[in-house]
Amino acid sequence: MRRIAAILLAAAWPAAASALDCASAKTQFEINQCADRDFRKADAALNQVYARLKARTTDPNSRKRLVAAEGAWLAYRDRECDFETEDSIGGSIRPMELALCYREKTVARAAELRKQLDCPEGDLTCAR
């Protein structure tokens, strides 16, 4: 439920956040907006890598595994970040902490998927 509230609040400010100079953000609200903007950029990059990998995955069973893995990863990310930031529940800093956590995990996930895209022939750690 808290995640839904954070999403609804975040949806209200994307236009303002894009115009905000984050280097001079002073209020917690502005800092929250900047953190959300950074997370959204990372999420967009992840979605691009995921779409490329999914398009390249032609085997139906492999594609199902990729989709299931991504769904499980999203659930993990959200639950892990909720846990990692539980000390700020109810505070004005909470949206920033969540966005920073989401961004960190999203950047790492994009790197994992990118590795699958750029996997050299013969590397047995990569899906084919």
Q: pLDDT tens string for the chain (128 positions)?
A: 555 545 545 555 454 545 678 888 889 999 999 999 999 999 999 999 999 999 999 899 999 999 999 999 999 999 999 999 999 999 999 999 999 999 999 999 999 999 998 888 877 777 76
Residue 33 CA to residue 109 CA, distance in Å, equals: 22
Question: In the block, which residue shows the tokens 């960190």?
Answer: 104
| Residue spans per domain, the chain | 2-110
Dist CA 41 CA 58 (whole Å): 28
- pLDDT at position 12 is 53
What local confidence, expressed as pLDDT, does residue 122 receive? 79
DSSP string, 20-55: S-GGG--SHHHHHHHHHHHHHHHHHHHHHHHHHHHH
User: Which residues are CB-neighbours of 102 under 8 A, at least 6 positions away?
Assistant: 39, 42, 43, 77, 78, 81
pTM across the whole model: 0.80
Please give the structure tokens belonging to residue 120.
């050299």
Tokens linked to 36: 């959300």
DSSP E strands in 16-108: the ranges are: none
2-110 has which CATH code? 1.20.1270
